[in-house]
Chains A and B, each alone.
Chain A
Amino acid sequence: MDINSSLKGVDLKKSANINIDKGAAIITYNKYKGYTLPLAVLAISVLILLFLLIPGINQLIATQKLLDEETQKLNMLQNNYNFLINLDEQQSDADLKTLTKILPIEKDFFGMMTSVSKASSVAGISIDNYKFYLGNLSKLTGEDTQYPTILMDLALSGSGVSVNNFINELYKTAPLVEVSTIKYQTGKASITLAFYFKPLPPQNIANDTPVRQLSAIEQKLLNSLRTWSNISEDQAEFFGAIGSATISGSVNFEATSSGDVEFSPFN
């Protein structure tokens, strides 16, 4: 491009005193003015890319992710619905009662007494004395991760094999118990038992709570637990069992200085 074309339209007479910088700018403008419109369009394209396309892509990705999550939730809800339609309500209620007998939701003295009584009847031993340690009487919640226990000391009379049979029977009798210590000497035994309980979790179970079928291991465990003794709710059975065992005595509660409570019928 020659200088004449660059200075086209510039009145040199009027611009006689034009300075060299302004002249250079005008020359440069005229030289590149053909690029102005395409560059402006490119700039607009870049702006659309930055302010519309990229946010649009991000929005699309986020919406797709949301759709995936919502679809997953829908599938879960539909599975829940189909599962619940086919769930045997009576069997489920019965299973919950059984499991609550085996792992009570609170201190179950009735269950503990019948458990000991039934196991002693089966093993053929007599219970000489027993004592509860009730522990802290404050209310526990289902969110506590520990498994709280009630301790019970038992004094028994019987042979060594009978005592062993007794603790074997206890491990198949509701509620869940752990034998902490066994001391047996020539016909007399003292045993410390820890009966477990666990409060229920918070009851605000929402309709969108995911449910699943019992796993094979859980089903096997449940089948085995159904065969445990002392899972009946019949109180008459308890009194019958008590009548056949040699437990007797009056009941006393005694608070200790630690705030714990001991309970023994023989104090």
Chain B
Amino acid sequence: MNSINFVTGKNLDLEKQLEKVKYLKIAAIASLLIVAGVSVIIFIITLLLPVPSVRKQQDQALLGISKFHKKLVTHVLVLDRLKNITGVQNLRKDYPQIANTIINKMPQDLLISTFNIENGVFTLTVNGASLFSINQFVDDAIVASDKTENFKNFKVTGLKYDPEIDQYALTFQSDVF
């Protein structure tokens, strides 16, 4: 009975610790290998990116373009002029178009006696012997002015009869844009 040993010879704590150390070593070596490996791969990929090659091709393309420099300058200036012409056309007031809207509706037997466009105000006085023509012109002018956004506050400001010359004078006024 004295030879019976109930205590195991293995030290469980020590074994656990050795196992932990073993895993830690594996993890440490693996992390070192991964980090170092990825670093090397990234370094190689960075070196292999063909930036110098692309720049060389750019130089070749620029050399080719330099032979057409005059064409390039001309085309750039054409684009510049077109841009500025568009800018001016958008900026300037299109008074001819505004005047045409009304004057083109005028019957043949009427005559323009005054016609002003100043400070955004359009006034037009027409003379004629026929009240029928004047009435038709009023109707047509009102319809035409309604169709565009150029006119605002379009109104007939006067209709006079001059017995000496037997003529009617009709005056329109409108704000124009």
Question: A residues near B, CB below 8 A?
Answer: 1-2, 5, 34-35, 37-39, 41-42, 44-45, 48-49, 52-53, 56-57, 59-60, 63-64, 66-67, 70-71, 73-74, 77-78, 80-81, 84-85, 87, 89, 92-93, 95-96, 99-100, 102-103, 142, 147, 159-161, 163-164, 167-168, 170-171, 176, 178-186, 189, 194, 196, 198, 200-201, 203, 205, 207-209, 211-212, 214, 218, 221-222, 225
Nearest A residue to B118, CB-CB: A181
Residues of chain B lying within 8 A (CB to CB) of residue A39: 24, 28
- What mask results when residues 113 to 134 of chain B are scored 1 for a CB within 8 Å of chain A, else 0? 1111111000000000000000
Nearest CB in chain A: distance from B40 CB, A: 9
Tell me which residues from 58 to 108 in chain B have a Cβ below 8 Å from any Cβ of chain A.
Answer: 58, 61-62, 64-66, 68-82, 84-89, 91-96, 99-100, 103
With CB as the reference atom, state the residue of chain A lying closest to B77.
A96
Contacts of A159 in B (CB 8 A): 111-112
Question: Could you tell me the distance in whole angstroms from the C-beta of B112 to the nearest C-beta in chain A?
Answer: 3
Expressed in whole angstroms, the Cα–Cα distance for A67 and B43 within the complex equals 16
Q: A38-B25, A53-B38, A53-B39 are in contact. Are A87 and B78 (CB under 8 A)?
A: no
The A-B contact count (CB < 8 A) is 223
Complex CA gap A66/B35 in Å reads 25
Question: Would you call A38 and B27 a contact (CB within 8 A)?
Answer: yes
> In angstroms, how far is the closest chain B Cβ from the Cβ of A1?
6
Minimal beta-carbon separation of A226 from chain B (angstroms)? 12
B99's nearest neighbour on chain A, judged by CB, is A164
Given contacts A171-B96, A211-B76, whether A160 and B113 have CB atoms under 8 Å apart is yes
Across the interface, do B24 and A38 meet the contact criterion of CB distance under 8 Å? yes
The reply to whether A45 and B71 form a contact with Cβ atoms under 8 Å apart is no
- A96-B74 contact in complex given A53-B42, A67-B49, C-beta closer than 8 Å: yes
* CB <8 Å contact, B61 and A81: yes
**B88 contacts A1, C-beta separation under 8 Å:** no
Cβ-neighbour of B54 out of A59, A70, A180 (below 8 A): A70
Option from A102, A181, A207, A221 in Cβ contact (under 8 Å) with B117: A181
User: Is B10 on the interface with A (CB-CB < 8 A)?
Assistant: no
- Closest residue of chain A to B84, judged by CB? A198
Which residue of chain B lies nearest to A212 when distances are taken between CB atoms in the complex?
B79
* Contact between B35 and A48, CB atoms less than 8 A apart: yes
A82 to B14, CA, bound (A): 77
Minimum C-beta distance from A126 to chain B (A) = 17
- Contacting residues, chain A, for B49 (C-beta < 8 A): 60, 63-64, 67
Q: A69 to nearest B CB, angstroms? A: 10
Q: Given contacts A74-B58, A103-B85, A186-B113, are A85 and B51 in contact (CB under 8 A)?
A: no
Smallest Cβ-Cβ distance to A181: which chain B residue: B118
The 7 closest A-B pairs by CB, nearest first: A160-B112, A99-B81, A41-B28, A77-B61, A178-B92, A38-B28, A84-B68
Kindly state the separation between the CA atoms of A173 and B95 in the bound complex, as whole angstroms: 15
Contact A211/B31 with A1-B13, A99-B78 known, Cβ cut-off 8 Å:
no
Chain A residues whose CB sits within 8 angstroms of the CB of B70 once the complex forms = 89
A60 contacts across to B, CB distance below 8 A: 42, 45-46, 49
**What's the nearest-Cβ distance from chain B to residue A157, in Å?**
14
Report whether B57 and A74 are in contact in the complex, using a CB–CB cutoff of 8 Å.
yes
Chain B: which residue is nearest A2 at the CB level? Answer: B11
Chain B nearest Cβ from A173, distance in angstroms: 12
Residue B160 CB within 8 A of the other chain:
no
- Given A53-B42, A99-B81, is A183 in contact with B17 using a C-beta cutoff of 8 Å? no
Residues of B within 8 A of A57 (CB): 42
Q: Which residues of A contact B11 (CB under 8 A)?
A: 1-2
